[in-house]
Amino acid sequence: MISLDVTLKNKSGIHARPASLLVKEAAKFKSQIKLIKGEKEYNAKSIMGILSMGAQKGDNITFQAEGEDETQAIKALETLVDNNFGE
C-alpha cells in the first residue's frame, strides 16, 4: 500500500467535473483506491463518495492505493491534481 498527501490548489476544489475526472482516472486501475480527508475515507471509484467529501481549495487529502498497479494509480492521480483537474 502506498499513500500520497496533496493540497488542492484548483479554484473550486473537487466539484462535479473534477470528481468525474478523478473517478474516471481511478477506474482505470485494478488497485483499491481511497481518498482520505480528515478522519473519513472515500472510495475513489465512487462519484457519490467523492462528491460527499466536500473538498475545497486548500484542503489536504491523502490518496491511498493498494494492489498490483498501486504505483501507477498514485502517479496518475497526482498528475491530475498537479494539473488542477484541467482548469
Active site includes 14?
A: no
Of 4, 10, 15, 84, the catalytic one is 15
DSSP notation for 17-68? HHHHHHHHHHTT-SSEEEEEETTEEEETT-HHHHHHH---TT-EEEEEEEST
CA angle (77 as vertex; 49, 14 as ends), nearest 5: 45
The C-alpha cell that represents 13 in the structure block: 476544489
Q: Give the catalytic positions in this structure.
A: 15
